[in-house]
Amino acid sequence: MILATSLAFFLLAFLLASIAAAVLYLAFLKMKAEESEAAQTEAAQRHFQPVSRSDGEIGLTGELSPLLRSERLSTINFWDHVLARFNFGELLQTQLEQAELDWSVGRITSLMLFLGIILMSICLRFLPIWMALPIGAGASFAPYGYMLHKRSVRFQKFRDHFPDTLDSLARALRAGYPLSTAMDMIAGEAAVPVSGELKRTSTEANLGRGWPQALQNLGQRVPLLEVNTFIAAVQLHSRTGGRLSEVMGNLAEQMRESLALQGEVRALAAHGKLTGLILTILPMGIAAMMLWVSPGYMHILVEHPLGKTLIAAAIGCLVLAHFVIRKIVDIQV
C-alpha cells in the first residue's frame, strides 16, 4: 500500500513538473516571438519612412506598406511554420471568428495536442493502448468541440433574432428609406449578434465593396439557410425590382414558423436524448455502487488479466451507444 501511494505521488509530481516546464517553455517561446515581431515592426517603420523627392512630392523609402502583413497562425515561429504547411488553418480561423473566440489557430491546435498527449499518457498506466489512444483523441477534440459549441450557440441566437430584424427592415422600407439607409438604421437597433454582422455588412458596402460583395461576405460569415434566403431575395430584387418590404415581411413570417416547428421537434426528441443519457450513466452508477457495497466482487474483474480489456471495451460500447442514440433522435427540419 505504501509503495503504491509513493508511486502515485511521484507520478503526480512528475506530471505537474512536466506541465509546468511545458508552460514555461511555451511562454519563453512566445516572449521571443513577440520580441522578434517587435524588432521586425520597428525595422519596417524605419524602412518605410517618408522621404522628400526632387519634384516636391513625398514618397516612401520602400515598395510595400507595413500595414499589408500576412496574418500569422501562431505567435510561435516554429508552430506557425508547421501550421502553414497544412490547409486547415484558414477553415479553423473562419470557425473561430464565427464562434467569436479570441483565439488563434496556433493556440487551439497546441491546446488540443497538449491535452491529448497528457490524458493518453495517464490512461496508458491503467488501460490498454488500443483504448488509451481513442481517449487521448477524444481529449484532444475537447477544445475544438468547445469552439463548435460556441459557434452553434451564436448561430442559434442569430436565427432567433433574425426574423425580428427582417420585420424592422420591412417597416423601414415601407417608410421610404432605401436599402442602404435601412440597413444602417436596423444595425444599431438589432440584437446581438445580428447587429454586429449587419453593421459590418453595411460598413463594407459603404466603403466601396458594394452590396453584392458585402452580402456575399455576410453569407460566408453566417452560413445559415435564413441568411442565404435573405441574400438571394435582395439580389433578386436588385435585378428585377418589386416591393422588397413585402418580401422581407413574408420571409420573417416563414422563419418564425420554421423556428416554431424546430422547437416542437426538439421537445419531442428530448425524451430520447434523456433516455440515452440515462442508459449511458446507469452501468457506471451500478459499478460504483458495487464497488461501495462489495469491493471484493468487483476486484475480481480488475485483477483478472482480461479485466482491464473488458472494462475498456464496455466503456467504448457505452460511449458509442450514446452517440448512436443521439444521432437517431437528432431530427433535422
Q: DSSP letters of 95-114?
A: HHHHHT----HHHHHHHHHH
| pLDDT tens for each residue of 75-120 | 676 676 777 777 777 788 888 888 888 888 888 888 888 888 888 8
| CA–CA gap between residue 203 and residue 222 (Å, rounded) | 16
> Has residue 62 got a pLDDT over 90?
no
Burial class (CB in 10 A: 0-12, 13-18, 19+), 79: buried
Q: What pLDDT sits at residue 38?
A: 59
Over residues 201-226, the mean pLDDT reads 88
Helix (H) or strand (E) holding 79: helix 77-84
Among 138-142, 238-242, 300-304, the minimum mean pLDDT is found in 300-304
Q: Are 237 and 245 contacting, i.e. CB atoms less than 8 angstroms apart?
A: no
Q: How would residue 218 be classed by pLDDT, with cut points 50, 70 and 90?
A: very high
Among 126-130, 243-247, 293-297, the minimum mean pLDDT is found in 126-130
Give one word for 119, left, alpha or beta, with left for phi > 0 and alpha for psi -120 to 50: alpha
> Has residue 127 got a pLDDT over 80?
no
Over residues 217-222, the mean pLDDT reads 91
- What DSSP string runs through 158-216? HHHHHHHHHHHHHHHHHTT--HHHHHHHHHHHSPTTHHHHHHHHHHHIIIII-HHHHHH
DSSP-derived letter for residue 60 is E
Among 180-194, 198-212, 306-320, the minimum mean pLDDT is found in 306-320
Q: What pLDDT sits at residue 237?
A: 86
**Amino acid of residue 242:** G
Q: Which of 30, 36, 66 is nearest to 48 (CA)?
A: 66
Q: What pLDDT sits at residue 39?
A: 57
Helix (H) or strand (E) holding 63: none
| CA–CA gap between residue 221 and residue 207 (Å, rounded) | 18
| CA–CA gap between residue 67 and residue 320 (Å, rounded) | 50
> Has residue 61 got a pLDDT over 70?
no
Cell of 5: 501511494
Burial class (CB in 10 A: 0-12, 13-18, 19+), 242: exposed
Q: What pLDDT sits at residue 150?
A: 93
Percent of the chain with pLDDT over 70: 76
| pLDDT tens for each residue of 167-189 | 999 999 998 888 888 888 888 88
| CA–CA gap between residue 142 and residue 152 (Å, rounded) | 15
Over residues 141-157, the mean pLDDT reads 91
> Has residue 192 got a pLDDT over 60?
yes
**What sections of 241-294 are H helices per DSSP?**
244-293
Cis link prior to 193 (omega < 30° from 0)? yes
| pLDDT tens for each residue of 9-54 | 444 444 544 555 544 555 555 566 566 555 555 544 554 444 444 4
